[in-house]
């Protein structure tokens, strides 16, 4: 009998260990697409903006209509599914894509500013900091989950960040955090492909446990009023994500133990006309905090609205419920995916998103 119990215990031990400690060597890739509207991700190109010569070059109109509005064929779908096929493929692969307000999926920032630094701070720390009211290059006083992880056993030197914006080193507080931040940025002439290449090289060669990639062309082109280029950036980002995930699936260091989270720091104005080019709340306009903002005392309603995609062993389909999901829930979700205790990071942070919970 004793022998049987021992045998059973030996048989059950690995299963129990798995259930109790999903950690081990879990990995995370977090990608942000700056200021990418849920409207474009889910609905695809907005016909009115494609027809408007101010925002879409007439040479591009035909291509956009054929490729992304009509879609390349019924099988691949049209609209959002044609513009961002990888993101739209995630639910069928056991992942999640949420934030489609046409389907009553609500997700929003909880900060009052609706622009980048407050948004990234919220993503990385799990809560809004009302003291952050500009995109100025101030060293973040808050400890991000990246910094917290970099000090945890098993993560030292294994947390890397790549961002196409020269404020990322300040938001992540590179000198203090011990998280190297590669931040290439060429002002008004986006060079996102360099950031993408560098991140893919790092994944192949340095094998980080946590990789953050901040993509910014989507926001840059939108501020320039280039809707055609903004759509191009979304499509290119989606292509990059597909390549990233192919690498993950092909590499034994990552396959089966990597969670990918994709989201955005803020949305953009949802009103008809030129509102899509801008973002920021009335409060941000009052503080004149953003620097890009067209003075509009009402701000740009809709730019608080965001979306999120995720896939990996930590992600499982779960009913979202009527409550609006918060940007402040992303940090706890990321830590949960890594098998870490998010409450030990910050008990006041937003709880994990429903499809990360219960693990």
Using CB under 5 A, list all residues that contact Zn ion.
35, 219
What are 40's strand-pairing partners? none
Is 270 within 8 Å of 305 (Cβ atoms)? yes
Nearer CB in complex with Zn ion: 219/304:
219
Please give the sequence-ordered ranges of beta strands (E in DSSP) within the chain, or none if there are none: 27-33, 96-98, 107-108, 159-163, 181-182, 210-215, 258-263, 308-311, 325-326
Tell me how far, at minimum, the Cβ of 147 lies from Zn ion, in Å. Answer: 24
Is 83 within 8 Å of 295 (Cβ atoms)? no
Q: Length of the chain, please? A: 359
Nearer CB in complex with Zn ion: 46/219:
219
What are 31's strand-pairing partners? 213, 262
DSSP readout, 122-189?
Answer: HHHHSS--TT--S-S-PPP-SPPHHHHHHTSTTTTT-EEEEESSTTHHHHTTHHHH---EE----TTS
- State how far the Cα of 188 lies from the Cα of 224, in Å rounded to an integer: 9
- State how far the Cα of 171 lies from the Cα of 212, in Å rounded to an integer: 13
Tell me how far, at minimum, the Cβ of 116 lies from Zn ion, in Å. Answer: 6
Residue number closest to Zn ion, CB atom: 219
Nearer CB in complex with Zn ion: 115/240:
115
Tell me how far, at minimum, the Cβ of 223 lies from Zn ion, in Å. Answer: 6
Nearer CB in complex with Zn ion: 278/340:
278
Tell me how far, at minimum, the Cβ of 281 lies from Zn ion, in Å. Answer: 13
Nearer CB in complex with Zn ion: 223/236:
223
Tell me how far, at minimum, the Cβ of 192 lies from Zn ion, in Å. Answer: 15
Nearer CB in complex with Zn ion: 255/286:
286
């Amino acid at each position: 009998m004793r022998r049987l119990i021992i045998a059973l215990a030996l048989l059950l031990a690995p299963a129990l260990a798995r259930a109790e400690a999903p950690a081990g060597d879990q990995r995370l890739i977090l990608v942000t697409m700056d200021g990418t509207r849920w409207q474009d991700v889910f609905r695809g190109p907005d016909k009115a903006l494609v027809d408007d010569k101010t925002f879409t070059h007439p040479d591009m109109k035909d291509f956009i209509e054929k490729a992304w509005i009509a879609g390349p064929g019924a099988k691949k779908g049209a609209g959002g599914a044609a513009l961002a096929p990888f993101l739209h493929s995630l639910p069928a692969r056991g992942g999640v894509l949420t934030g489609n307000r046409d389907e009553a999926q609500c997700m929003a920032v909880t900060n009052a500013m609706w622009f980048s630094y407050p948004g990234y701070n919220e993503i990385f720390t799990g809560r809004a900091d009302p003291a952050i009211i500009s995109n100025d290059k101030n060293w973040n006083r808050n400890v991000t989950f990246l910094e917290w992880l970099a000090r945890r056993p098993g993560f030292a030197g294994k947390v890397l960040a790549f961002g196409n914006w020269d404020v990322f080193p300040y938001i992540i507080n590179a000198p203090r955090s011990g998280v190297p931040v590669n931040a290439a940025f060429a002002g008004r002439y986006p060079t996102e492909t360099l950031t993408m290449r560098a991140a893919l090289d790092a994944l192949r060669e340095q094998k980080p446990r946590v990789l953050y990639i901040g993509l910014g062309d989507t926001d840059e082109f939108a501020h320039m009023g280039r809707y055609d280029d903004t759509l191009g950036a979304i499509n290119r980002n989606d292509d990059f994500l597909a390549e990233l995930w192919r690498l993950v699936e092909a590499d034994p260091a990552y396959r089966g133990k990597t969670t990918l989270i994709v989201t955005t720091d803020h949305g953009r104005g949802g009103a008809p006309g030129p509102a899509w080019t801008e973002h920021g709340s009335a409060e941000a306009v009052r503080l004149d905090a953003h620097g890009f903002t067209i003075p509009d005392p009402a701000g740009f309603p809709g730019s608080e609205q965001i979306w999120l995609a995720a896939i990996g062993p930590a992600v499982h389909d779960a009913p979202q419920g009527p409550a609006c999901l918060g940007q402040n829930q992303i940090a706890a979700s990321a830590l949960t995916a890594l098998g870490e205790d998010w409450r030990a990071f910050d008990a006041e942070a937003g709880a994990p998103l429903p499809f990360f919970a219960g693990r």
